[in-house]
């Protein structure tokens, strides 16, 4: 297998079994990992560890304030890591030029992709994207992205992998 045959995917670190969640646990997903196959190599990314929150750490959540979404502590709203998470995602940009897709952990205030609960001041709940996922999607609108829960559906999984392979081909040949 040559280097050009290898496809690099970004993936939320906890899905790989790394104990990086706020409670010291992981969310390893063998069903997904077994489906990836030998061509796929992964770039493991945990934004909350990346900004220095540590493990374990106080949980954070998304809140909407005047149209803006912020990531703040569940128990201590004065803990606001919005800028740090956004900056982390921006600084990741050069490394992400090498990936051909990204698998995000669903429902996370950092990694969720349209699946994360976001609370308004009057406690209304809507679904939004975690701050890392939102920034990656904003900066790379053509990058194939998904969440682990979507990959349980074989049709969605095949569709995602087809998009990844096509994106990889364009990266390496400029065509496809
Ligand atoms: S969901 Fe994202 S921020 Fe949370 S533990 Fe997993 S990789 Fe880290």
pLDDT tens across 14-52, in order? Answer: 999 999 999 999 999 998 898 888 999 999 999 999 999
Whole-model pTM above 0.85?
yes
Query: Residue 61: CA atoms inside 13 Å, Cβ hemisphere, count?
Result: 16
Helices 82-96 and 131-139 sit at what angle, rounded to 10 degrees? 40
126 Cα distance to chain centroid: 19
Which structure tokens are listed for 26? 């992981």
The C-alpha atoms of residue 78 and residue 142 are separated, in whole angstroms, by 35
For residue 67, give every residue at least 6 positions away whose Cβ sits within 8 Å of its Cβ, in sequence order, or none: none
Q: What is the pLDDT of residues 74-94, one digit of tens each?
A: 999 999 999 999 999 999 999
Minimum-distance ligand 1 atom for the alpha carbon of 15: 6
Helix ranges restricted to H, the chain: 30-36, 47-50, 82-96, 131-139, 154-173
Determine if ligand 1 sits within 6 Å of the CB of residue 14.
yes
- CA 49 to ligand 1 center in whole angstroms: 8
């Amino acid at each position: 297998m040559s280097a050009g045959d290898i496809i690099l995917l970004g993936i939320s670190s906890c899905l790989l079994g790394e104990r990086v969640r706020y409670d010291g646990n992981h969310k390893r997903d063998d069903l997904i990992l077994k489906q990836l196959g030998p061509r796929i190599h992964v770039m493991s990314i945990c934004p909350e560890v990346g900004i220095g929150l540590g493990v374990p750490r106080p949980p954070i959540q998304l809140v909407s304030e005047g149209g803006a979404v912020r990531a703040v502590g569940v128990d201590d709203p004065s803990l606001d890591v919005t800028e740090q998470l956004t900056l982390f995602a921006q600084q990741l940009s050069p490394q992400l030029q090498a990936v051909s897709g990204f698998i995000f952990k669903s429902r996370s205030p950092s990694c969720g992709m349209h699946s994360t609960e976001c609370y308004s001041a009057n406690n209304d709940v809507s679904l939004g994207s975690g701050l890392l996922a939102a920034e990656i999607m904003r900066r790379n609108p053509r990058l194939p992205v998904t969440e682990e829960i979507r990959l349980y559906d074989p049709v969605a999984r095949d569709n995602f992998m087809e998009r990844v392979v096509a994106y990889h081909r364009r990266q390496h040949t400029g065509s496809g």
